[in-house]
Amino acid sequence: MKRHFYLVSGWASLGLGALGAFLPLLPTVPFVILAAFCFARSSPRLEAWLVTHPQFGHHIVAWREKGAISRKGKIAATAAFALSIVLAAIFSPWPWVMAPVIAAAVTGSWIWTRPEA
C-alpha cells in the first residue's frame, strides 16, 4: 500500500511539474524533485528515468548531493515572486496583498541560502 501511495504521489508531482512548465507561478523543478523522491520509494525504473533526464536530471542530482539550486533557478524563483507580488498589489485587497510578500520573503530567503549547483 505504501508503494502505491508513493507511485501515485510521484505521478501527481510530475503532473504538477508539467503544469508548472506552462503556468508562470507554478514551479516545475521542485515538483520533479519530489516526483524523483516518490519514485525512489515506488519505482526504480521511473526514478532512473528522471535522474537521467536531460532537462531535469542535473537538478535532481545537485539537490540530492548538495542541496543545491542553480543560479538560474534562484533568479527565476525571485522573478516569479516579484510577479506574484505585483499581481497581488493590483488585484488583491488589504491585507491579502501581504500574503505573497510574506511568502516571497520566507521562501526566497531560504532559496538564496542554498548552495549553487
What's the confidence (pLDDT) of residue 1?
Answer: 83
Alpha helices in 41-97 (DSSP H): 44-51, 57-66, 71-91
CA distance linking residue 74 with residue 53, whole number of Å: 21
What's the confidence (pLDDT) of residue 24?
Answer: 67
Q: Is the pLDDT of residue 35 over 90?
A: yes
**C-alpha cell recorded at residue 26:** 507554478
pTM over 0.85: no
How far, in Å, are 35, 41, 74, 92, 115 from residue 71 at the CA level? 22, 29, 5, 31, 9
Q: What percent of the chain has pLDDT over 70?
A: 98
Q: Is the pLDDT of residue 40 over 90?
A: yes
